Amino acid sequence: MTALIAMPPQVKCSHLLVVEPDSEARRAIVSVLSAHGHRVDVSTDPEQASALMESQDYDVVFTDLGGPAAEAMDLAAWIRVRHPTTPVVLVTSQSTVDSVLLAVNDGVVAFLGKPVQADHLLNALGRAVDERQVRLAARRRIEDRYVRTRHHEALSHVFEQALEHLYMVYQPVIRARTACTVGYEALLRTTAPRFSGAGPFLKLAEELGRLTEVDDRVRALLAGQFEDKPQWRTFFVNVHIDELERGLLATDRDPLLPYGSRIVLEFSQADEIPDGPDVQATLARLRAAGFRIAVGDIAATTATLMRMRTLAPDLYKIGGVVVRGCDRDERKRRFISEVVEMAHAEGALVVAQGIERPEEHQVSVELGCDMVQGFLLGIPRSVFD
């Protein structure tokens, strides 16, 4: 090998393995690599090399075809299988076309002929380290994809169990001035132990992209109430805004279609309303079938609420976050008044949700809310009067 030439290291410090039976060639290679700051282990035969690689992680392996060429080829093939992220550089004076083709198939990234030039050795190391990074990145992507897949599968199993054990509870909606029950809001629950309420379950469904399955299940359960016996009651049903574009509402595939006159479909103010002919067609079908539409969870400014007016809602439901403590907060009372004024001007009704104290009930009635709802007036139950 030629004498070591002075040049800056081309790669960061790496942990290298040199498999070289010839002592003079081995010392020369190790001298160049060590002088450039690399940590170098040595081995004299493939069997010893494989034992070292089982106990340590090497960035690059340099090996000589040496004695029987098959031994070096077997080592390269073994590394490709057992340590696929570790590139191999062949240092040999015996390369043939056949051996080169075999080596390439076994993941060899560079060939060096003897005697090895120091700059050639370092250049080969640089290419091998770059290849190592590429292989590691690919492996991480595969591992990440595997972890994500397993995580998704686990969450899907949890979701499916919860969906299977879904049931409905019903909270009364009361007429404000007469205190009579005018309907019930259908609220989903599940007996799956992981979920203490609907919120975490719906969040999981959204994460998995399976909210439509929840909506389908809720509609099927509610339709069962009508099928068991005729219902005079009105039911408020929470529906995700995406259902307006799905093309199922108020069609022959909708199990609630025969009972449209008893159903109020409630969309959250927090959702972004889709636009387009499909949405308008769905709204037209709903109206023709007798469904009514409500905007729920109202808690933002009335200016934000204006965009919900494209739904032409029959009811506006003021969220509990606004109603709770309204007897003590002038801003909340002013907001409720503004919603009531806007709704009544459109011929719509207003429901005050989340009432837990008599003072909140009294203020809601005084401010003109048409209906009230909350734990003070009735808790959600699996059976109703």
Distance (Å, whole) CA 357 – CA 372: 12
Q: Nearest 5 degrees, angle CA 306-CA 307-CA 311?
A: 105
If we measure between CA atoms, which residue out of 330, 334, 315, 331 comes closest to residue 373?
A: 315
Q: Which residue has the tokens 């595969």?
A: 142
Query: In angstroms, how far is the first alpha carbon of the chain from the final one?
Result: 97
CATH of domain 15-141: 3.40.50.2300
Report whether pLDDT(292) > 70. Answer: yes
The strand pair at 263-268 and 39-43 is best described as: unpaired
The pTM score is 0.65
Q: pLDDT tens for residues 328-379?
A: 999 999 999 999 999 999 999 999 999 999 999 999 999 999 999 999 999 9
Distance (Å, whole) CA 221 – CA 238: 13
117-134 average pLDDT score: 90
Q: What is the pLDDT of residue 304?
A: 64
Report whether pLDDT(70) > 50. Answer: no
Q: Among 3.30.110.40, 3.30.70.1560, 3.20.20.450, 3.30.420.40, what is the CATH number of 165-372?
A: 3.20.20.450
Are residues 242 and 205 in contact, defined by beta-carbon separation less than 8 angstroms?
no
Report whether pLDDT(21) > 90. Answer: no
Range(s) for CATH 3.20.20.450 in the chain? 165-372
Range(s) for CATH 3.40.50.2300 in the chain? 15-141
Q: pLDDT tens for residues 186-201?
A: 999 998 888 877 888 9
Q: pLDDT tens for residues 298-329?
A: 886 666 677 777 888 999 999 999 999 999 99
How sure is the predictor about 99, in pLDDT bands with cuts at 50, 70 and 90? Answer: low
Report whether pLDDT(38) > 50. Answer: yes
Q: What is the pLDDT of residue 103?
A: 61
Report whether pLDDT(230) > 80. Answer: no
Report whether pLDDT(68) > 60. Answer: no
How sure is the predictor about 110, in pLDDT bands with cuts at 50, 70 and 90? Answer: confident
Distance (Å, whole) CA 71 – CA 52: 16
DSSP 157-183: HHHHHHHHTEEEEEEEEEETTT--EEE
